[in-house]
Each structure stands twice: as C-alpha cells, then as structure tokens.
C-alpha cells in the first residue's frame, strides 16, 4: 500500500508541475519538476526519496525517452553535422573525464584521481530531455539544434563506458589502455550495429503483421512502447551499449519512409498522443527523482563533511572547468564550420562567439548523470581511507544544478525566442497559398459537373481565407457584430414565440442553440486564431453537413425548422444591411456576415425543394468535400516541389488533411 501511495503522490507532483510550468514561465519544466521533488522530499521526508536500481532506471526511463527523441530529430541536419556530433559525444566526453579528474584531485586531494575520473565520466553526458525543454524558450539555428540533439543521443554510451573503466581503476587499481580501447570500440560500434539490425527486424515485423491484415492501432502503439525496452535488454545481454542500440534503431525506423494513407495517419496520431503523454510522465519521474535526492545528499554531506565549503567551491570550480572546456571545443568546431560555409563567413565575430556560447550552455547535465553517479560503489575510499561516495554524489548533484540554472537563465538571453507573430504570419501565408491553389483545382476539376456544389464549396474556402487573413481589429469587429446579431436574434425569437408563429419545441430548441452560439462566440474571440486552425475546419464542415442533412443532431430536418432558419437568415440580412459601420474593420466585418447569411439562404433554398433534393445536395456536398481533400493533398505536394513551402510545412498540412479525411470517414460511418 505504501508503494501505491508513493506512486499516487509522484503522479500528483508531476501533474501539478504541468500547471506550474504555465505560471512560472521563466523556469523551464525540468527545473520546476526538480523543485517539486525537493519540496516533496522536505515535506514528506525519507518516504519520498525515490529509490531505483540505476541500471533499471536507464532501461525503464532513459531508454524510451531517447528512443522517442530519436524519432523526432532532424535526420538530415544530424547527418550533415555528424562529425561535430561525434566529436562532442566521444572526444569531449573523454577530454572532460581527464579535465575533471585532474582538477578535482588538485582542489580536493583526499579524492583519488581514479574517483575523479569516474566523476568526470558521469558528467560527460548531456541531458536530452533538458535540451528539448530549453527549445521552448530559446531560438537556436538548425545546426545548433541538430548538434545538441545528436550529442545527447550518443554521449550517454561514451559516458557510461568511460565511467565503468574509471570505477574499475578506482576499485582495483588496474587499467589497460588496450583493453579499454577494445571494450569501448565493441560497446560503441556494437551498439550501433545491433541497433541497426534490430531496427530492420522491427520494420520487418511491422510490415509482416500489416501484410496479413492483423495490424491494429493497439498493436502498433503497444509494439512501439515495448521496442526500446527489448532492444536495450538484448543489447546489454550481448555486452554492447543498450542506450546506443535504442537510439540507432529509432533513427533507422524514422528514416524508412512509410506510405501515407488515412489509416497510417490515424495510427500516427494515436501513437504521437500516447508517446506525448508517456514522455511527459517519464520526464517528470526523471526530474522529480533527481530533486528528491538533492536534500538528503546536500544535508548529509554538509553536516558530515569537515570542510563543506571546500566541496561547494569544488562544485563551482568544476562547473567552470567543464563549461570553459566545452566552449573552447565548440569554438574550434564552429571555426571549422565557418571555413566550410556551414556558418556564414560574414557573421560578425561577436555574434559568432555568442552563438558558440549558446551551444555551450545548451548542453546541461541532468538525470542521466545522477543515475550513473548513483552506481558508484559504497566501498569507494579516498586517500585518507574515508568513504567518498557521498562527496562525489554531492559534487555531481551540485554541477547538475549549476548547468541547468545557467541553461535556464543565461541561454534565453544569448539566444532569445523569436517573436511568435512572425511564425504565425508565415503559417497564415502558407495556408492561404494552399487554399487559393485549391480553389483553382476544385474549379478546374469539378466545376463543370457540379457547378452548384462547387460554388458553395468555393464560397466556404473564400470565407476561410478571410478568417485566416483577418487582423486582430477585424477579428474583434466580427466577434462584436456577431454577438450583437445573436442578441437581436434572441429578441426576434421571443417575438415569433409571442406571436404564435412557432411552437414550443422549436422555440426551446432555437433558444438553446442561440445561447450555445453566444458562449462559443465569446470563447472564440478570447482565443488566438493560430490555435483554432483545425478546429475551425472541423466545426465548419460538421455544421454545413448538419445544415444540409441534420444527421448529427436529429434524423431529419422538419419543414418548420427550415422555415425558421430562413426567417432568421432574412432577419440577419435586414439587420446587417441597416448598419452604418464607423470603421473600415466594421465595414469588412458587416460584409463578411452578410455573405455568410446569403450562403445560408442559398442552402435553405435548395432544401425547400423537398427531402429528395435535400439528400441529393447532401450527397453531392459530401462527395465534393472528399474530392477536395484529395485535391488539397496534390496542391500541397505541388507547392512543396515548387519550393513555395518547406517540407516541414507540407508535412504539417498533410497531417491536418488526413485528420479531416478521418473526420469525414467517421461521420459517414454513423
């Protein structure tokens, strides 16, 4: 029962951290979760000090997180910067081992060189989770992002192997350069080779199951979750790096193209949703785990050590050493990139060094470092015969905090996040470009056979273009006028009811609908337009189908309801045409709403011909929507091939079209 209570407390802490992350915008999520872990350990005490087997921790938490991260890194950018990534992931890790080892022996003579080397190896890996979290508050170049992501995926293996040799030297006093190099090569190269092999096996299994028609969304997602665990365990059994095998398999699986279909999009959406939740929970456990250990480590060492200030000084000195070493290493790499043209030759030297400094601070230490350090043997002794494991844990924890704080507070100053308005403007321009190309395609492909339906569809697309391109002033004017219009509709409804022109059931239905629309308008005007792209199209498509068939709300649309809708549309037109807008935005908003109500009258006019015509119109519109989405995929591909939109933008737009296609297929199945 105590374990269950601890799990519930842990998940509650992680859930609260997700809320605090939205409030404490100056702190990155890892720091918020570390702070929550510290607070939990201080309030609850020893029961909250989470204990895991360190090797199990790497397999159960770090492995899946790196597997998920490897699925989303920019593969081309990573391959382009492979030399720099390997230099940082192997060369810098080895250099850090010796830099930390000799520096620590110099400032704290009681700690032997071998133990210092072990600490340096534990401090070698950067934290991929923290790197991902920092991207929300900073703007890094594609090269910087690729280097930091690739480094964090690979340097775990080099750090773990180096750590094992250093610990062996500290415990036995025996070290062989030949044996160390051989074991390192086997672990590193073997991990890559085994990961590639397992990636091929995974792809073959997926295709075999899909080929015999047994694949389902549940199978696919469950298989994805189990894949990194099995690969990690099998690799470790073979004596190669499990972490590196997981990363290599993830990269290979992500590189192999899959055929784009509606079903594939459905599976991808479900998979991404599951991994997003899992990654958030695993990340939270990792950093709360780190925070829960800090109070006991710091308190114990501060109380028991005869010179606690010397250890605090050592934390600062070692942080400076590894930061300066990393900065110099990156400067050399950036100078080489500048000569090759990867970094512009005309970039001022001040901006060049600031860029190198940003890359330096973008690689903080994290839970991987702590999990490695926790595997230090309890019997590790200093030169004076005293046990030194707690001192090394104190140093590792202090350096982790220092690097995370530097990354959180200094990195955003060096590489501040870009104004989101520029990204939103680009997103709007791309969507408008696709929509206008789609209008041409729909008119050319379908206009002659279905002139009435195509005219309605194009009118809707033009209205969506208007909504996409409207400024904040125009959007506000539309919301204000729509709110006033709904108030007038409510009064008109009361008049119709008092005059006995509508019965009680129709009156109640329209009154409730009017109130829902009023709430929706208020909610809509309070949200940013960029967050409503897909929802806008889904809502509008569903509303149009309800207007045509009433299928989503009731089996059929009665003649009385059609009559009342027509009265409302004509009332709206009279009201809007009688307005005298005072501003340009108000005038455009009035025209926008007039066009909307004219389209409603057109649809109702077609429906007045009878139920048979109504069904014909509905079937035609559904068919046209399906065809239009197919044409939209072609338009997106054409624009990408022409260079008008990027590959990433095309991929995002295609995913949205797939979502809309699923919405149509789900609606048709009802």
Q: Which tens digits make up the pLDDT trace of 333-384?
A: 999 888 887 888 878 888 888 888 988 888 888 777 877 887 788 777 777 7
CA distance readout (Å), 414 to 354, 408, 410: 6, 11, 7
Residue 27 pLDDT greater than 80, yes or no: no
DSSP secondary structure, 161-211, as one string: HHHHHHHHHHHH----HHHHHHHHHHHHHHHHHHHHHHHHHHHHHHHHHHH
Report the pLDDT value the prediction gives residue 351, as an integer from 0 to 100.
Answer: 83
d(CA 455, CA 453): 5
pLDDT of residue 639 exceeding 80, the answer is yes
pLDDT, position 612? 44
- Fold entry, domain 53-411: Na+/H+ antiporter like fold (1.20.1530)
Q: Please tell me the predicted confidence (pLDDT) of residue 300.
A: 63
Q: Which residue has the higher pLDDT, 151 or 74?
A: 151
Of 461, 451, 441, 365, nearest in space to 637 by CA = 441
**CA angle in degrees (0–180, nearest 5) for 444-598-517:** 110
Range with lowest mean pLDDT among 134-143, 529-538, 615-624: 529-538
**Cβ within 8 Å of residue 475, ≥6 positions away:** 525, 529
Contact 116, 390 (CB under 8 A): no
Whether pLDDT at 467 is above 80:
no
pLDDT tens-digit map of 251-300 = 888 777 666 565 666 677 677 778 778 777 877 777 787 777 777 767 76
Q: How confident is the model at residue 527 (pLDDT cuts 50, 70, 90)?
A: very low
- For residue 399 the two structure tokens come to 């350096």
**For position 523, what pLDDT does the model report?**
56
DSSP bridge pairs for 416? 138
pLDDT score recorded for residue 303: 59
Could you report the per-residue pLDDT of 542-585, keeping only the tens digit for each? 444 444 433 333 334 566 777 778 888 888 888 888 888 777 77
Backbone conformation region of residue 652, classed left if phi is above 0, alpha if psi is from -120 to 50, else beta: alpha
Q: Which of 326 and 656 is assigned the larger pLDDT?
A: 326
Residue 326 has pLDDT above 90, yes or no: yes
Listed by start position, the domains of the chain span 53-411, 450-525+559-609
CA triple 356-358-361, angle to 5 deg: 110
Q: How far apart are the first and last CA of the chain?
A: 45
Q: Which of 380, 386, 369, 393 is nearest to 173 (CA)?
A: 380
Furthest-apart CA atoms within the chain: distance in Å: 101
Residue 650 pLDDT > 50: yes
What pLDDT score does 198 carry?
A: 92
Closest alpha carbon to 119 in 379, 402, 365, 405: 365
Separation between Cα atoms, residue 509 and residue 346, nearest integer Å: 67
- Of 103-112, 556-565, 609-618, 620-629, the least confident: 609-618
Q: Which residues have a Cβ under 8 Å from the Cβ of 301 and sit 6 or more positions away?
A: 308, 311, 390, 391, 393, 394
The pLDDT, as a whole number, for residue 316 is 92
* Alpha carbon distance 271, 259 (integer Å): 16
Kindly indicate the confidence band of residue 521, based on its pLDDT and cuts at 50, 70 and 90.
low
Q: Among all chains, which residue has been given the structure tokens 């273009």? A: 465
pLDDT at 609 over 60: no
Mean pLDDT of 601-620: 57
Q: Is the separation of the CB atoms in 231 and 245 below 8 Å?
A: yes
Average pLDDT, the chain: 76
- What does the alpha-carbon distance between residue 174 and residue 403 come to, in Å, rounded to a whole number? 33
Output b/e per residue, 219-237; b: 16+ Cβ within 10 A.
ebbebbbebbbebbeebbe
- Model confidence at 401, pLDDT cuts 50, 70, 90, reads confident
Tell me the H-state helices in 24-126: 29-44, 54-57, 63-70, 75-80, 82-86, 93-107, 113-122
- pLDDT reported for residue 323: 93
Query: Alpha-carbon distance 128 to 367, whole Å?
Result: 10
Asked if 280 and 18 touch (Cβ cutoff 8 Å), the reply is yes
Quickly list DSSP for 297-329: HHHHHHHH-S-HHHHHHHHHHHHHHHHHHHHHH
Tell me the whole-structure pTM to 2 decimals.
Answer: 0.64
Q: Can you tell me the distance from the alpha carbon of 402 to that of 557, in angstroms, rounded to the nearest whole number? A: 66
User: What's the CA dihedral at 27, 31, 32, 36 to 10 degrees?
Assistant: -150
**165 and 175 in contact (C-beta within 8 Å)?**
yes
- Check whether 50 has a pLDDT greater than 60: no
CA atoms of 371 and 369, how far apart (whole Å): 6
Q: Is the pLDDT of residue 451 over 50?
A: yes
- Taking 50 as the threshold, does the pLDDT of residue 610 lie above it? no
Q: How confident is the model at residue 529 (pLDDT cuts 50, 70, 90)?
A: very low
The pLDDT of residue 319: 93
Query: Comparing C-alpha atoms, which of 565, 663, 562 is closest to residue 611?
Result: 562
Can you give the pLDDT at residue 613?
45
Instruction: Tell me how far apart the alpha carbons of residues 555 and 551 are, in angstroms, rounded to a whole number.
Output: 6
The predicted-structure confidence for 156-212, as pLDDT tens digits, reads as follows: 777 877 787 777 777 766 656 667 677 777 877 888 899 999 999 988 888 888 777
Question: What crossing angle do the helices spanning 262-304 and 389-409 adopt, rounded to 10°?
Answer: 130
Q: What is the pLDDT of residue 194?
A: 92
Mean pLDDT across 34-46: 78
């Amino acid at each position: 029962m105590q374990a269950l209570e601890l799990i519930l407390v842990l998940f509650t802490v992680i859930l609260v951290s997700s809320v605090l992350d939205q409030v404490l915008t100056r702190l990155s999520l890892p720091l918020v979760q570390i702070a929550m872990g510290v607070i939990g350990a201080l309030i609850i005490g020893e029961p909250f000090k989470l204990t895991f087997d360190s090797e199990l921790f790497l397999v159960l938490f770090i492995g899946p997180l790196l597997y998920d991260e490897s699925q989303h890194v920019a593969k081309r950018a990573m391959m382009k910067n492979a030399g720099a990534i390997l230099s940082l992931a192997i060369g810098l890790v080895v250099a850090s081992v010796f830099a930390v080892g000799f520096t620590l022996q110099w400032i704290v003579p009681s700690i032997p060189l071998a133990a210092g080397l072990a600490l340096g190896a534990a401090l070698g890996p950067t934290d991929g989770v923290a790197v991902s979290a920092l991207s929300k508050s900073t703007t890094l170049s594609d090269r910087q992002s690729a280097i930091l992501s690739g480094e964090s995926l690979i340097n775990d293996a080099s750090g773990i192997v180096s750590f094992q040799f250093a610990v062996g030297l500290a415990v036995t006093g025996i070290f062989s350069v030949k044996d160390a190099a051989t074991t390192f090569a086997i672990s590193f190269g073997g991990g890559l080779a085994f990961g590639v092999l397992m990636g091929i096996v995974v792809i073959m299994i997926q295709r075999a199951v899909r080929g015999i028609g047994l694949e389902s969304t549940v199978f696919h997602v469950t298989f994805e979750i189990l894949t990194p665990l099995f690969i990690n365990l099998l690799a470790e059994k073979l004596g190669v790096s499990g972490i590196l095998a997981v990363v290599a398999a993830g990269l290979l699986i992500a590189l192999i193209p899959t055929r784009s279909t509606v079903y594939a999009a459905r599976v991808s959406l479900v998979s991404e949703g599951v991994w997003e939740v899992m990654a958030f929970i695993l990340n939270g456990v990792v950093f709360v785990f780190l925070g829960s250990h800090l109070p006991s480590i710091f308190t114990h060492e501060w109380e028991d050590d005869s010179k606690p200030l010397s250890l605090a000084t050592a934390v600062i000195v070692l942080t400076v050493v590894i930061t300066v070493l990393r900065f110099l290493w990156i400067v050399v790499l950036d100078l080489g990139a500048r000569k090759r043209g990867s970094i512009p030759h005309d970039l001022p030297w001040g901006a060049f060094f600031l860029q190198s400094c940003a890359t330096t601070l973008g690689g903080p230490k994290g839970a991987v470092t702590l999990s490695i350090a926790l595997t230090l043997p309890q019997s590790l002794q200093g030169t004076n015969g005293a046990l030194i494991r707690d001192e090394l844990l104190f140093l590792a924890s202090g350096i982790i905090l220092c690097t995370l704080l530097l990354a959180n507070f200094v990195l955003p100053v060096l590489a501040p996040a870009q104004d989101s308005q520029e990204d939103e403007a680009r997103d709007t321009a791309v969507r408008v470009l696709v929509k206008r190309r789609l209008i041409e395609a729909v008119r050319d492909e379908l206009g002659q056979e279905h002139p009435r339906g195509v005219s309605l569809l194009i009118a809707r697309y033009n209205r969506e273009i208007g909504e996409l391109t409207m400024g904040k002033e125009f959007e506000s004017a539309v919301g204000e006028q729509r709110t006033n219009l709904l108030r007038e509709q409510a009064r008109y409804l009361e008049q119709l009811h008092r005059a006995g022109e509508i019965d009680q059931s129709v009156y109640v239905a329209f009154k409730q609908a009017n109130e829902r629309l009023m709430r929706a308008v208020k909610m809509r005007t309070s949200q940013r337009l960029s967050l409503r792209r897909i929802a806008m199209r889904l809502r509008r498509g569903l509303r149009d189908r309800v207007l045509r068939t009433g299928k989503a709300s009731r089996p059929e649309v009665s003649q009385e309801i059609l009559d009342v809708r027509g009265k409302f549309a004509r009332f709206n037109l009279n009201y809007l045409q009688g307005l005298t807008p005072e501003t340009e935005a108000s005038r455009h908003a009035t025209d926008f709403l007039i066009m909307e109500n004219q389209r409603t009258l057109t649809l109702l006019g077609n429906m007045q011909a009878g139920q048979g015509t109504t069904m014909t119109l509905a079937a035609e519109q559904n068919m046209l929507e399906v065809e239009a989405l197919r044409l939209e995929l072609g338009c997106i591909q054409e624009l990408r091939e022409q260079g008008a939109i990027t590959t990433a933008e095309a991929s995002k737009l295609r995913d949205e079209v797939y979502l809309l296609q699923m919405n149509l297929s789900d609606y048709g199945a009802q």
